[in-house]
Structure 1
Amino acid sequence: MLEQPDLAEVVIADFLRDAYDVPVSALTFLPLGADRNTAVYRADAASGARYFVKLRRGAFDETSVLVPTRLHKQGVTAIIAPIPTTAGRLYADLGEFRVILSPFIDGRDGWQVDLSDRQWTEFGRALRSIHAAALPAEVLMQIGRERYASEWRDQVRRFLVRAAAESFADPVSAELAALLRGRHAEIARLIACAEALGSALSRRALPFILCHADIHVGNLLIAPEGTVYMVDWDTLMLAPRERDLMFIGGGLNGAKSDADREMRCFYEGYGAVQIDTAALAYYRCERIVQDVAAYCEQILLTAGDSADRPEGLRQLRSQFEPGAVVEYAFRAASAAGCGG
């Protein structure tokens, strides 16, 4: 969220004191992330300690705090575990928001700083530890499983129809509609490939493992001394490992991407693995379809002058640039026999 929610800072500060026994001397809103349902702050305590405060509204899955906590206790050090409330809970309720508190690390994400070779290797080693993690059955039962569902594809089909048939007075909506019309062929190909590949994968028995499911470089936090942390656990899923591995060498940094270096260094830490080409292609295509749906919801189904809307348009447009994720998705699709 790029703009503060309609919640007074004094209310948040008082809540942190009451729920976490953290007397706050200063609270700073951090305009980070594309999720309009999540707001984050830095809280400076009177003791000098600093905390990362995450406010999440809407759908909330308790595994997003339970699983990182368990993994951290198992020795996965690339995770910043949430701090329990005074009542021992891993989150607290503040009106429509769920509040998660964790230590604040004054780092930068992988969009802001390029990972070094060593950091890519460190990331690979950390992600392998997630994929190999053993969790109790009662925890695994709470985590969603991959279904290869068509909901995002169906939504995008409807948005394509709207973009072709309607005119929009709002400038951001009009620009998005023009983008959808101009990129209709590419989007239709992404939908078709995701549909075909997903249908085929649903009839196979690929092993499902614990996946972060959104582990792009924007969800890597690089500490000042160079340590790499994996953050934002709202999307946990049991799925084929390609659900996470699709991001490696996938063109997320556009023309700046060095896919060969990323993969070489990452897999030095992750270890040897046989990539399923159909699963990799499915996830790369489906992820872009999901992004199209999410940005259309954000822009076409809302109004106003929120900074999140033009930023969402910019991010979506960038995916179609040369050397970006759409190009890499089509390469993967062709390798999997889905030429469109």
Structure 2
Amino acid sequence: MPVKYLEQIGETKLKKWLYEEYDLNIESIVPIPKGEIGDNYVVEDINKQKYFLKIYLQSKLHIDNPNGLKDSLKLTSQLHDAGIENVPYPIKLKNNELEGKLETYSITVTSYINGCNPVITSDLKIKFGEILAKIHQVKTENINLPIEPFNATYANKLAEQIKILEQKENLNKFQLELSDLLLPNQDKLKKHLFQFNELCENVKLKNKQLVVTHGDLIPDNLMVNGLGKVFIVDWDTARLSPPERDVWFFIYNNGQDFIQTYKAIYPSQDLDIDLLSFYMYKRYIEDLVYWADQILFEDLNEKQNQSNLKGIKISCLEAFHNIEEKVENMKNLISQ
């Protein structure tokens, strides 16, 4: 991934700005090849203290949600203040703001986690069950997090993508591969879309408790350090939703340890199978639509197109294959 923003700003200018705005005397800036919205770096000061730095282009950052970055920074700051030590928290500038401005860029500095993305074991499910049960009970102040809309927008989009592929007009080789993946499975996909639309209508009628949720608890956003302490990172997708938005990630397969821990710490929260199913279906459909949209409408390189096709095959189509079994597993767990 090119370090485009750092090259445009200049390393010397960025170090000077960090000293003036944060009082950080930075010695090294090392890029991290991760992130779609901004550029990511690990910076180290003269005392060998490391921080995580992110640079966003303001014109791209504020298109969909003008206050999204501010709200996610406020959230992680308040979670940290509430005693949740398992999230990276923003470092304040000298003026006590959480986000800095340099030319046309927004810059954030957060605490650094020296860890790796884990394989999720039973022991780790217990730890994440404890963390989420605590996070779901935190009351935030003066943060305008998005509220779950309970809509089926992505399901409608998938139906449109299938129609485009059926026409088979002027498709490139990656779009043809996408067609070979989706069209033979379109009857099954239409069945899943129907089930998802039904779930969507059902959950709209439920009396739901909304809590702070992360919503993207894939292994890339989970970390464990050398002492076995676990962390949840990248809170850009946070919103006020039922807790099922987070819980389903850990219980559709061997989730008993997670559920026991979660319920012990948050006993007043009754989990709902329709909501758990809604969020599982929603995630698989959203991922499929996102990757298919990139293949159909964006000019990507071969590596990215192949990665998207692999994601659709493994993380979506194969995941849908036994989704009824996953729903049944969750239903049995929460009824115990």
TM over 0.5: yes
Report if the CA contact (8 A) 1:190-1:286 is conserved. no
- Secondary structure at 1:86 match in 2: coil
**CA–CA distance in 1 between the matches of 2:272 and 2:209?**
11
Tell me the residue number matched to 1:11: 9
Q: What SS does the corresponding residue of 2:200 show, helix, strand or coil?
A: helix
Deviates more, 1:201-210 or 1:167-176: 167-176
Identify which of 119, 131, 153 aligns with 2:124.
119
* 1:126/1:328 CA distance change after superposition, 3 Å: farther
Partner AA of 2:28 in structure 1:
A
Whole-angstrom distance in 2 between the partners of 1:308 and 1:16: 33
Q: 1:225, 1:269 → 2: CA distance?
A: 21
Residue 78 of structure 1: how far off its partner (Å):
0.8
What is the letter of the counterpart of residue 100 of structure 2?
A
| Structure with more contact order per residue of length (Cα contacts < 8 Å, sep ≥ 6) | 1
From 306, 312, 315, the counterpart of 2:308: 312
What is the aligned counterpart of 1:286 among 282, 289, 294?
Answer: 282
Other structure's SS at 1:132 match: coil
1:302 alignment counterpart: 298
- Structure 1 residue 131: deviation in Å? 0.6
Alpha-carbon distance in 2 for matches of 1:195, 1:12: 50
Report whether the alignment pairs 1:190 with 2:184.
no
CA contact (8 A) 2:213 2:245 kept: yes
Change (3 A) 1:158 1:96: farther
Change beyond 3 A, Cα 1:174–1:69: same
CA deviations over 1:162-221 (Å, ceiling 9, x no partner): 122134554333322322223323322222111111111112212222211112332111
- Superimposed CA distance per residue, residues 232-269 of structure 1 (whole angstroms, 9 cap, x where no aligned partner): 1111111111111111133xxxxxxxx22xx1222232
Is 1:67 the equivalent of 2:65? Answer: no
* Total equivalences in the alignment: 315
1:37 Cα deviation after fit = 2.2
Alignment of 1:270 onto 2:262: yes
Partner of 2:241: 239
Question: AA paired with 1:276?
Answer: D
Report what 1:129 is aligned to: 134
Aligned CA-pair RMSD: 2.6
1:224: how far off? Answer: 1.8
Q: Shift in Å at residue 86 of structure 1?
A: 2.8
- 1:198-277 to structure 2, matched below 5 A, reads 198-250=200-252, 259-260=253-254, 263-272=255-264, 274-277=270-273
Q: Secondary structure at the match of 2:249?
A: coil
Shift of 1:119: 2.2
Instruction: Report the CA distance between 1:303 and its aligned residue.
Output: 0.8
TM-superposed CA distance for 1:226, in Å, is 1.2
- Correspondence 1:82-101 to 2 at 5 A: 82-94=90-102, 97-101=105-109
Say if 2:181 is the partner of 1:179. Answer: yes
How has the CA–CA distance of structure 1 residues 11 and 304 changed in structure 2, closer, same or farther, with 3 Å as cutoff?
same
Residue 181 of structure 1 aligns to which amino acid in structure 2?
A: L
Report percent identity of matched pairs: 19
AA aligned to 1:100 is T
TM-score w.r.t. length of structure 2: 0.84
TM-score where L is the length of structure 1: 0.83
* Runs (5+) with no aligned partner, structure 2: 332-336
Q: 1:18-29 maps to which residues of 2 (within 5 A)?
A: 18=17, 19-29=21-31
Contact 1:28 1:43 in 2 (8 A): yes
Between Structure 1 and Structure 2, whose CA radius of gyration is higher?
2
| Residue identity matched to 1:125 | E
Is the contact between residue 222 and residue 229 of structure 1 (CA under 8 Å) also seen in structure 2? yes
Give the superposition deviation at 1:334: 6.9
Shift of 1:51: 1.7
